[in-house]
Amino acid sequence: MAHPFICPNCGHRTSELDRNLGFTRQRKGCTKCGFAFLFELLDDYYPAPDAAFFVCDGEGRVVGCGKNSFAFTGLEEEEVIGQRVEQVLGLSFSGGDDPVATVLEWGVRALGVAVEVAGERDVAAAAKADMFPAYDDDGGLLLVLTPDK
């Protein structure tokens, strides 16, 4: 049975039978752009064309920025790497919730969460956040921000 995967760098979706290359523990990379690893999705997922991708480690620090991240936030990858995703992107979730912490702690998805994103702007932009946990030993998450129209 094939499982759906998505590249956080270019947004390319693919179906694979396994997370690893052959019998090794090395993660599969993107065949389209060459990014080092893919995120496995439990269901097929279609991000919007203008969605911005951010990859975080198990502590919620940004380790990579992908497609549309600069266009949406105005932040270069060098400015955000190693920083907590909530702080560097100025994420503000309604009701004071912290779905990033929930995804990291419980390994569950959070889809369609309303969020305000500040980034480099003076005024926060409204967006929807989709968060997927990393299904590996290191943890982490994929954050996909889709601007509200």
Residue 43: which domain range? 3-147
**CATH number of the domain residue 112 falls in:** 3.30.450.20
pLDDT in tens, 100-116: 999 999 999 999 999 99
CB 139 within 8 A of CB 58: yes
Q: In which residue are the tokens 């932009």 written?
A: 125
What H or E segment, with its residue span, contains residue 62?
strand 62-65
Give the number of domains in the chain.
Answer: 1
Residue 21: the pLDDT is 57
Other beta carbons within 10 angstroms of residue 125's beta carbon come to 16
Q: In which residue are the tokens 């990859």 written?
A: 55
Other beta carbons within 10 angstroms of residue 37's beta carbon come to 20
What would the two tokens of residue 126 be?
């409204």
123 vs 7, residue with greater confidence:
7
Instruction: Please tell me the least confidently modeled range out of 15-24, 74-83, 125-134.
Output: 15-24
Contacts 24+ apart (CB under 8 A), 43-46: 43/4, 44/4, 44/13, 45/4, 45/6, 45/13, 45/130, 45/132, 46/13
